[in-house]
Amino acid sequence: MSARNRLLVTATGRNAADCIEALTGTLARLGAELLDLEQVSIRDRFVLELLVEADSTEPVLGELQAAARALGVELDAAPLPASGVGPRRRFVVTAVARALSAAHLHALTELLLRESCSIDRVVRLSEGPLAAAELHVSLPAGVDASALKRALLVLSSAHAFDLALQSESLFRRSKRLVVMDMDSTLIRIEVIDELARAHGVVDQVSKITERAMHGEMDYDESLRLRVGLLAGLPASVLDELAANLPLTEGAETLVRTVKALGYKVAVLSGGFSVAAGALKARLGLDHAWSNVLEIDDGRLTGNVVGPIVNAARKAELLEAIAKEEGIRLDQVIAVGDGANDLPMLQKAGLGIAFRAKPRVREGADVSISTSGLDAILYLLGLSARELAELEAP
C-alpha cells in the first residue's frame, strides 16, 4: 500500500449529487481507493474534495477530468505524499461576535498559522449575518496548547470578540450539566449591593468588598461583615428585589435550550437564597444553593444561617450534584465571573469565565466577554439552524 500514490482532487460546480455520483463511479470502475471526502456548499455552488489512492494516478486523473467536463464541473488535482505529517492533536476554536468580520478572521487565522496550527475545517454556526464560526485545527505533538490558549485570549481582548479553544473530544458535544454563579453571571446585578443601597450602607459595603478583593480578608469574613451592615433591613425589600431580578442577556435562551436537550441546570451562589430560589422557580432550574439570611420579625438580623457558600463550597457542590445526577465531571459546564468561582470552573469539564476579571479569564478553560450567555451554545458546537429546529413547534 505504501508504494501506491495519493491524489487530492478538488471539484467545484453547481450540482453536488451528480458530481459525487459520477466521480465515485469512475473511481470504482478503475479500482482506485477513496480514502477521504468532504463537501461544502455556499449558496448554489459546492466544493468537493476527494483523497484518492491508486497504483498510478495519471489514468485516474484523466478519467476524472473527463467525467467532470461532461458535467460542466471544474476539477483540480495535486499529488500528496503517502507518509502524512506525523501525529497531531485536534482542537476546535470557536469565534463569536456581534458581527464576525473579515478583520476578525484574518487576525485569528494569522495567529493560528503563527502558532503552527493547521486549519482542517471551518464551519459556520450562525444564520443570517456571520456571527459565529468554529475552526477545526490540529497541532503538532510538540506544540504547547496552553500557549495557544493565552495567545487567543490576548487576541480576543485586542479585537473585542470571543474566542474559545477546546480539545476536540467525545465530551465536547455531550455535556449534561450546567452550573452557574448568580450575581453578575446569571443576573446583571450584585444583590448585596442593591440591598446595601436600599439600606443606605452601600459605601461601607463597597469598602469591605474592595478590601477582600485586595486579599486583606477572606470571603467568609467579608460576607459576614457586609451582611452585618444589613441588619434591620425589611425582608420585604429582599423579596421585592428577588421577584424582579434582571437576567443577563441570553440567560433564558441558554437555560431553555439545554433543558430541552435534557441537561440539568444549577445555580451555585455566594449570594442569597431568596434570590436563588426565585430564579430556580422562574427558570425551572434543577438545583439552587446559596447563603441563607436570618430574618426575625420581618427584618434581616445581619446574620448568615448555616455554612457559607464560598469558593471551596461551590466546587464541592458541583461535584456532589454531578454525582447525584450520575454525570461525569467531563460533562459539566461551570460558568462564573469571580475569583471565588475559579475552583468550580477548574473542576468542571468546561470552565467558562463570563465577563470576568483577567485573573479568572486566565484560569478558566475559555472566556466570554462580548457576547451573552447563549454564546455557550456555540461552544457546544450547536448551530443556529439546529437551535431554530429545537424552538420550532
Is 136 part of any domain?
A: yes
* Amino acid present at 165: L
Residue 374 CB-density burial (10 A; 0-12 exposed, 13-18 middle, 19+ buried): buried
Task: Determine, yes or no, domain membership for 108.
Answer: yes
- pLDDT value at residue 2: 46
217 falls in which pLDDT band (50, 70, 90)? confident
Mean of pLDDT values over 286-312: 96
Same domain, 238 and 350: yes
Q: What is the mean pLDDT of the chain?
A: 92
Q: What is the pLDDT of residue 41?
A: 83
- Whether residues 44 and 96 share a domain: the answer is no
- 145-149, 246-250, 253-257 — which is least confidently predicted? 145-149
Give me the pLDDT at residue 303, please.
97
Please tell me whether residues 234 and 363 are part of one structural domain: yes
What residues are annotated to the active site? 181, 183
* 149 and 184, same domain (yes or no): no
Range of weakest confidence among 140-149, 173-182, 337-346: 140-149
15 and 124 inside one domain: no
Higher pLDDT among residues 87 and 213, named by residue = 213
State the total domains in the chain.
Answer: 3
Residues 137, 191 within the same domain: no
Q: Count CB-CB contacts under 10 A for residue 59.
A: 12
Which residue matches cell numbers 442593591? 194
pLDDT band with cut points at 50, 70 and 90 for residue 15 = confident
Give this prediction's pTM. Answer: 0.85
Say yes or no: 219 and 356 in one domain: yes
> Phi, psi at residue 108, to the nearest 5°?
-65, -50
Q: How confident is the model at residue 79 (pLDDT cuts 50, 70, 90)?
A: confident
Are 288 and 279 contacting, i.e. CB atoms less than 8 angstroms apart?
Answer: yes
Mean pLDDT computed over 129-136: 94
- pLDDT computed for residue 215 by the predictor: 72
Q: Which of 29-43, 80-94, 275-289, 308-322 has the lowest mean pLDDT?
A: 80-94
- Domain membership flag for residue 172: no
Q: Is the pLDDT of residue 38 over 90?
A: no
Q: Are residues 30 and 100 in the same domain?
A: no
Farthest CA pair distance, the chain = 92
Q: Which of 79, 106, 128 is the last residue of a domain?
A: 79
3-state secondary structure the chain: CCCCEEEEEEEEECCHHHHHHHHHHHHHHHCCEEEEEEEEEECCEEEEEEEEEECCHHHHHHHHHHHHHHHCCEEEEEEECCCCCCCEEEEEEEEECCCCCHHHHHHHHHHHHHCCCEEEEEEECCCCCCCEEEEEEEEECCCCHHHHHHHHHHHHHHHCCEEEEEECCCCCCCCCEEEECCECCCECCCHHHHHHHHHCCHHHHHHHHHHHHCCCCCHHHHHHHHHHCCCCCEHHHHHHHHHCCCECCCHHHHHHHHHHCCCEEEEEEEEEHHHHHHHHHHHCCCEEEEEEEEEECCEEEEEEECCCCCHHHHHHHHHHHHHHHCCCHHHEEEEECCHHHHHHHHHCCEEEEECCCHHHHHHCCEEECCCCHHHHHHHCCCCHHHHHHHHCC
Q: State which residues form the domain around 63.
A: 5-79
| Domain C-terminal end among 125, 144, 167 | 167
Provide the sign of the torsion angle of the four alpha carbons 278, 284, 290, 296, taken in this order: positive
d(CA 122, CA 320): 38
Within this chain, do residues 187 and 145 fall inside the same structural domain, yes or no? no
Of 59, 79, 99, the position where a domain reaches its end is: 79
pLDDT band, very low/low/confident/very high, at 83 (cuts 50, 70, 90): low
Residue 100: pLDDT over 50:
yes
- Whether 70 is in a domain gets the answer yes
Span 45-53, average pLDDT: 91
8 Å CB contact between 312 and 343: yes
Measured CA to CA, the distance from residue 259 to residue 284 in angstroms comes to 9
pLDDT in tens, 329-387: 999 999 999 999 999 999 999 999 999 988 899 999 999 999 999 999 999 999 999 98
Identify whether 233 is part of a domain: yes
In a domain, 96, yes or no: yes
CATH code of the domain covering residue 48: 3.30.70.260
Q: In CATH, what number is assigned to the domain containing residue 381?
A: 3.40.50.1000
Quickly state the pLDDT bin for 1 (edges 50, 70, 90).
very low
Whether the predicted pLDDT of 86 surpasses 60: no
CA-wise closest residue to 275 among 321, 224, 239, 234: 239
Tell me, yes or no, whether 51 lies in a domain.
Answer: yes
Instruction: Please determine, for residue 213, whether its predicted confidence score (pLDDT) is greater than 80.
Output: no
Per-residue cell: 361: 479569564
Percent of the chain with pLDDT over 90: 76
Residue bearing the bigger pLDDT, 40 or 177? 177
The answer to whether residues 247 and 212 belong to one domain is yes
In a domain, 342, yes or no: yes
Same domain, 101 and 237: no
In a shared domain, residues 318 and 207: yes
- Average pLDDT estimate for 68-88: 79
